[in-house]
Amino acid sequence: MHILGPENVFPPVENSDIEGLLAIGGDLSSERLLLAYRSGIFPWYEEDQPILWWSPDPRMVLFPQRLKVSKSMRQLFNKKAFQVTYNQNFEEVIQNCAEIKREGQRGTWITDEMISAYIQLHQQGFATSVEVWEDDDLVGGLYGIYLKEKKIFCGESMFTKVSNASKYGFISLVRQLKNEGVKLIDCQVYTSHLESLGAEEIDRTVFLDYLKGDF
C-alpha cells in the first residue's frame, strides 16, 4: 500500500487493490484534491482512519443522456413540487450531508476536516452545491466537484429530509449539466439507487479516457 508524503503526487491508479484502495495519508489541500479528481481518485474515510484514497474498477457513472426519470418523478416536476437553486448555501448542504443518518453506516465519512477542505474548493469555484427547497425550508441537496475543463461532474454526497427531494435535485442537476455539455457524471461506486436513475458501471480505463479528453 502506497503511503503519501508531502509532495503532491499519486501512484498510478492501476496500483489500487481489488476494492479500489490506492493510497493512504497526505492531506486535503485544494491542490491535492483537484489532482486526485483529475486523475480518477477520490478520498473516502471515517473519522478514526487516516485519509484513504480510492480509484475503484469498475467505475459507476451516469451519462446525462441516459438519465432515467420515473413516472412519479415526472409528476413531481410537472407540479413543480420543489424549488432548486445552485451554490446558494454550500455550507449548509455539506453539513446536512454529514449529519444525515444513513442505513448501515455507524458514522459519517464527511469529517470536519473534509468539510473545511470542500468549502475552500467551493470558494475557489470547483465545488458545486444543489439546494432543494420546499417553501423556505432546505429539504434536500447534494454537492460535488465540477471539472468544467473536462466536462465531468464528480458527485460526492446528497441528503434528503423530505421524500424524493434529493432525487429531484439530482435530476435537475443532470439536466442542467447536459445543457452545459457535460459528458458524464462520476458516481464513484455502485448503488441500486443510482442504477435506478440510469447510472452504470464502466471499466476504469474507459473512465480515465474521459478524464483525459479522449472522448
- 40 with 59: CB under 8 angstroms? yes
In this prediction, what percent of the chain has a pLDDT beyond 70? 96
pLDDT at 158: 95
Element (H, E) at 157: strand 152-160
How far the first Cα of the chain sits from its last, in Å, is 31
In tens, the pLDDT along 133-144 reads 999 999 999 999
pLDDT at 103: 52
pLDDT at 107: 43
CATH 3.30.70.3550 fits 2-56, yes or no: yes
Domain boundaries, the chain: 2-56, 60-212
Residues of the chain with pLDDT under 70: 101-108
- Three-state DSSP class for residue 69: coil
83-86 β-sheet, strand order: 83-86, 127-134, 137-147, 152-160, 184-188, 59-62, 200-202
pLDDT at 100: 81
Judged by phi (left if over 0) then psi (alpha if -120 to 50, else beta), residue 198 lies in left
pLDDT at 214: 74
pLDDT at 105: 45
Judged by phi (left if over 0) then psi (alpha if -120 to 50, else beta), residue 188 lies in left
Q: pTM, whole model, 2 decimals?
A: 0.94
Domain 60-212: CATH class, spelled out: alpha beta
pLDDT at 108: 57
